[in-house]
Amino acid sequence: MDTGLFQRAAHSPSYFELIRGMGDGGRQIADFCIPCNPYFPTPAMFGELAKNLEMVLKFYPSDSATIAGRLARILGLNPSTVAMSNGSTELITWMDHLWFTDSVAVPIPTFGRWTDQPLETGKRVDMYPLLESSDFNLNIDDYIKFIRKRRSRVAVLCNPNNPDGGYLPRREIVRFMDELSDLDLVVIDESFIDFVEVERNPSVASDATIRPNVVVLKSLGKNFGLHGIRFGYLVANPALAGKMARALPKWNLNSLAETVVFMLEEHAGDYAESLRLLARDRYQMGMELARNSDLTVYSSQANFLLVKLAHGTDGMALRDYLLQRHQVFIRECGNKLGMDSRFVRLVVRPDKDVERLVEGLRGFAKTRWENDNAAPALVHSVS
C-alpha cells in the first residue's frame, strides 16, 4: 500500500483511494476513520434504494427548495430558515465567501475546513487553543474574552467538537450566541449533535432562527451514515438562510439525496434506534479501550473517541501497521492543528470490529516490544 496517500492533504484519503491501493484486502477494511453511523440506513432501506436505483440515477432531482422544504417539515422548522447543500463543506465554503470578510475565531483542534477554508481566501484566522491539560474542554468565557481581545468578526464553535467529542450544554451555547450578538456571524457547527445523549434536546437550531447573526450547520452524511451522498444543511433566520439559498445552484442536490430525504419520515424510528445502539457501543468501546494502560481515552458525546497513545508511540506507525496487517483504518491526528501524532480518533463501531481493533493494538505493542529488545540481544550474541 502507498502510505504516501496520507501525506497529500490535511484530511485522510478516501475509502476508494485506500481500496484501490490495497487490492482485494481493501474490501475487508474495518473503517474506524470516517465518522459514519453503522446502523443507518437499515438493510431494508438499502434494499429499497437498490430497487429504485435505475430511476434515481436516470432522472433529474427536484430543485433544492423542494427538497429543503420536505426536510424542514420533518424537522418541524419553517422552510424559509433552511438551506440545503451538497455536503456541509460546501456551506463552509459559501459562508466564507458571503460572510467572512475580515477575521474568524476558531478553537483548535477542530474540523480542519474551519481553519483551512478562510486561510485559503486570505482571511485572518484567530486560533484559540484547546489544552490537553484541560482534556480539550472549551471554556466559553475564556473563548469570548479571546474573541474580544482579537476583535474577531466571526466566531465558530463546534458542538460536539471534532476530534475530541467534547460537548457543551445547550444553555452555554445560547449564552455564547447572545454574548456575541454584535459580530458579523456566529457559527455553531452541530454536525454530530444527534449523537449526544446527556441532554434531551441539545440543538440550538430553533434558537438560531430568531437571532440576527447566527447560523447552525448540520451534516446529514455523518448522522445517517451516507457520506457518499454529500448532503448537509444550515438553519438561520430567513434573511441569512435565504441569502445562502440564493447563492447556491438551484439544482445542487442529487436524486439520491432527494430519495433519502423523502424516506426519513417513514424511518424515524429506525434512526432513533440507530442512535441508541451507537450510544451503547460508544460506552462499551470506551471501556474496552480503557483497559489498555497504554491508552488515554477521552470522554465523548460524538460517534468517535479521541485516544492518546503511550509516550514514544508513533501514531503514523500504528496507523500503517493496523491498515497493512489488520485492515483496520484509523484517523491519526498529527496533521490536525493543535495536536500531534500521539493522538488518534477512533470511530465508534460494533463489538466485532472493536475486537479486531484491540487485536491490532496488541499486535502493534508486541511488535514494538520485540523491536525494542532485539538490539541488546544481538549485541550480546556477537560479544
Which of the 8 DSSP states describes residue 34?
S
In tens, the pLDDT along 127-152 reads 999 999 999 999 999 999 999 999 99
- What's the pTM? 0.91
The pLDDT of residue 378: 41
In tens, the pLDDT along 88-132 reads 999 999 999 999 999 999 999 999 999 999 999 999 999 999 999
The pLDDT of residue 175: 98
The pLDDT of residue 227: 85
In tens, the pLDDT along 60-83 reads 999 999 999 999 999 999 999 999
- Give residue 225's pLDDT band: very low, low, confident or very high (50, 70, 90): confident
Q: Which residue segments constitute the domains of the chain, with CATH numbers given? A: 3-41+269-382 (3.90.1150.10), 62-266 (3.40.640.10)
Spatial separation of the C-alpha atoms in residues 347 and 130, rounded to whole Å:
21
In tens, the pLDDT along 3-22 reads 555 555 566 777 677 677 66
Order the strands of the 304-308 sheet from edge to edge.
Answer: 296-297, 304-308, 343-347, 331-332
